[in-house]
């Protein structure tokens, strides 16, 4: 009997630990936890607004019908709808983005450290892809047309490129209220203060003048 109890306890502990590892955002312990953006309390997420003060506006956003401004170096624009825009997303574990691409526009290689992304093309044609972790670094790529859907696994480097001559638009859902984004080039070459040249030259096996030139772009 004692062995059976220990085995059961071990199984329950393993189950609890597995849930803790796979969880992305804090789970709900009530119907909702609308973010109180004025609260001085700092927690993993955002403190809850008093439920008596919550209104329908806390669950509402308007603006995804408006095209983003793609007149920039990359030719793309992201309109985010996360907990910063909708306080009611706090602890819900989900958010949304609209991405606009000019012809030949690029959403450059980046990662979402806290989120998986599922993307659907509303207009245009996109070349998308992601790369697996070391040591394989396998590149999965696909050309998407209107109505197509593609998934980018959590934390992996991915990109979207408009390989057409017309504008493209997508909607993407993410499995976090605050997925975060790390654009690879910005992080490596646009860091403040700069990553020492000796590190970047060795990492990329190039001369310092090449690193200096790339850093000047950021």
Identify the CA nearest to 161 among candidates 184, 117, 119, 129: 129
Paired with 104 in beta bridges are: none
Identify the CA nearest to 158 among candidates 130, 138, 117, 181: 130
Count other C-beta atoms under 10 Å from residue 169's C-beta: 18
Tell me the C-alpha distance between 22 and 217, whole Å: 38
110 is in an annotated binding site: yes
19 is in an annotated binding site: no
117 is in an annotated binding site: yes
112 is in an annotated binding site: yes
158 is in an annotated binding site: yes
Counts of helices then strands in the chain (DSSP H, E):
4, 10
Q: Which residues are annotated as part of the binding site for oxalate?
A: 107, 112, 117
Binding residues for Mn(2+): 110, 112, 117, 158
Task: Indicate the annotated binding residues.
Answer: 107, 110, 112, 117, 158
């Amino acid at each position: 009997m004692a062995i059976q109890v220990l085995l059961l306890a071990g199984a329950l502990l393993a189950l609890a630990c597995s849930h803790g590892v796979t969880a992305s955002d804090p789970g709900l312990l009530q119907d909702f936890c609308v973010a109180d953006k004025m609260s001085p309390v700092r927690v993993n997420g955002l403190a809850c607004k008093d439920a008596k003060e919550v209104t329908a506006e806390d669950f509402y956003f308007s603006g995804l019908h408006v095209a983003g401004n793609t007149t920039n170096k990359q030719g793309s624009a992201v309109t985010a709808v996360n907990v910063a825009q909708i306080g009611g997303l706090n602890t819900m574990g989900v958010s949304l983005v609209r991405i606009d691409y000019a012809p030949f526009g690029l959403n450059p290689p980046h990662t979402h450290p806290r989120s998986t992304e599922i993307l659907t093309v509303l207009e245009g044609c996109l070349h998308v892809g992601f790369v697996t972790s070391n040591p394989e670094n396998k590149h999965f790529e696909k050309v998407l047309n209107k109505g197509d859907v593609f998934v980018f696994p959590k934390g992996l480097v991915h990109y979207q490129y408009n390989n057409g001559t017309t504008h493209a638009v997508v909607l993407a859902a993410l499995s976090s209220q605050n997925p975060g984004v790390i654009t690879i080039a910005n992080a490596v070459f646009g860091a403040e203060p700069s990553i020492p040249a000796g590190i970047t030259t060795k990492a990329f096996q190039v001369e310092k003048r090449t690193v200096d030139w790339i850093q000047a772009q950021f």
